[in-house]
């Protein structure tokens, strides 16, 4: 329990600082889970049994399109809660999508009965859950809007600039997943971006050379 309390203090200090007996019981009930990379966390139709709070690693939530393509919904990273998990717990529904660990993951798993009890009796926890849910849901809506509208060039440029890093360690397939596209289309547009001098591609990495031009593509103001 001492080791877990240290993790609460490190990752969710606001929980520890509350003078809330119900919240203390929640922290005591939380199970520390460690998952390897590539493990399925949930799938369509699965019953939601726990509320997860991420400590480290990354989980991706995705759906399959009508034509069999994987469409990324969002990532869950350290400090996050999963919007689908929250939705399923609040509505007593089953998962409508699937989730996989992208890296090794460490998280607190709070059993559903404890989640519901704390939601009813702890004002702090109730506010935390709904604030996190609202914020994450807004991110998902923005992502769906980005996938639904705009050209392939605009979608690709947005994905490339999203991490605000000059070096991107992603494969063409991973970029396609984030865009809701297919690898062949992404590869074709990346080669065109490279020929324009906006980026340089090496095996497994993409170097951004002209972020300003990519930003103009997103805005629709680039003039060739």
Domain range list for the chain: 2-147, 150-219
Question: Which pLDDT tens digits describe the chain residue by residue (224 residues)?
Answer: 667 888 999 999 999 888 889 999 999 999 999 999 999 999 999 999 999 999 999 999 988 766 667 788 888 999 888 999 999 999 999 999 999 999 999 999 999 999 999 999 999 999 999 999 998 888 787 777 666 556 788 888 888 988 788 899 988 988 888 887 788 888 988 998 999 899 999 888 999 999 988 988 887 665 55
Which pLDDT score is estimated for 180? Answer: 75
Q: Dihedral through CA 116, CA 121, CA 127, CA 132, nearest 10?
A: -20
Which pLDDT score is estimated for 146? Answer: 61
* Architecture (CATH level 2) of domain 2-147: Sandwich (2.60)
| 2-147 against 150-219: fold identical | no
Beta strands in the chain (DSSP E): 31-35, 40-42, 50-56, 58-64, 70-77, 98-101, 105-111, 167-168, 199-202, 205-208
| pTM, two decimal places | 0.66
Which pLDDT score is estimated for 31? Answer: 94
Instruction: Please tell me the CATH code under which domain 150-219 is placed.
Output: 1.10.10.10
């Amino acid at each position: 329990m001492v080791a877990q309390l240290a993790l609460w203090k490190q990752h969710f200090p606001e929980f520890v600082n509350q003078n809330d007996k119900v919240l203390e019981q929640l922290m005591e009930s939380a199970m520390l889970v460690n998952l390897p990379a590539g493990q399925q966390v949930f799938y369509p139709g699965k019953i939601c049994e726990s509320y997860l709070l991420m400590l480290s690693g990354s989980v991706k939530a995705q759906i399959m399109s009508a034509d069999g393509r994987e469409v990324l919904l969002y990532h869950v990273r350290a400090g996050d809660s999963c919007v689908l998990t929250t939705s399923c717990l609040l509505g007593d529904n089953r998962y409508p999508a699937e989730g996989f660990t992208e890296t090794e993951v460490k998280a607190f798993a709070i059993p559903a009965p404890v989640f519901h009890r704390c939601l009813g009796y702890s004002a702090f926890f109730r506010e935390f859950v709904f604030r996190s849910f609202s914020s994450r849901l807004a991110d998902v809506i923005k992502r769906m809007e980005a996938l639904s509208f705009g050209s392939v060039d605009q979608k690709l440029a947005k994905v490339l600039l999203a991490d605000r890093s000059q070096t991107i360690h992603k494969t063409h397939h991973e970029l396609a997943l984030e865009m809701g596209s297919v690898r062949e289309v992404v590869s074709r547009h990346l080669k065109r971006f490279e020929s324009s001098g906006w980026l340089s591609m090496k095996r497994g990495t993409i170097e951004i050379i002209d972020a300003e031009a990519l930003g103009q593509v997103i805005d629709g103001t680039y003039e060739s």
